Amino acid sequence: MQGTETHPATALGSIRVVDLSSYIAGAYCASLLADMGADVVKVESFEGDGLRGLLGGFHGWNRGKRGICLGLTREEGREVLHRMVRRCDVVVENFRPGVTERLGRALQPHL
């Protein structure tokens, strides 16, 4: 995320977003932020988002985003996520209850 260009002339041009969501609601939310100029990075597991089977839908709901695959079940993957979250302004996630707690400090907001 360091060194990425921002577009301050847009509404959200200086905002950085980490998108951990899957399926429609979270993905659509983050795509709207990207539409308004935010720098959005979608994080997926190595298995990929469940929407990838809906080819047109997946691309529509994830337009304007960059992407990275991380293995969040491993400490190394969680550490990369933690560094990304420390540098971002917004985290979008729609995990089941308890998942963010299991990910631990990787999702704790920076102060």
**pLDDT tens by residue, 5-39:** 555 678 899 999 999 998 888 999 999 999 999 99
Q: So what's the pLDDT on residue 10?
A: 83
Please report, for the chain, the start and end positions of each structural domain, with discontinuous segments joined by +: 16-101
pTM, entire model: 0.83
At 40-83, the pLDDT tens digits run 999 999 988 877 777 677 888 899 999 999 999 899 999 999 99
Q: Minimal CA–CA distance to 63: which of 15, 22, 31, 23?
A: 31
Round to whole Å and give the CA distance between 12 and 33. Answer: 7
Which CATH number is 16-101 given? Answer: 3.40.50.10540
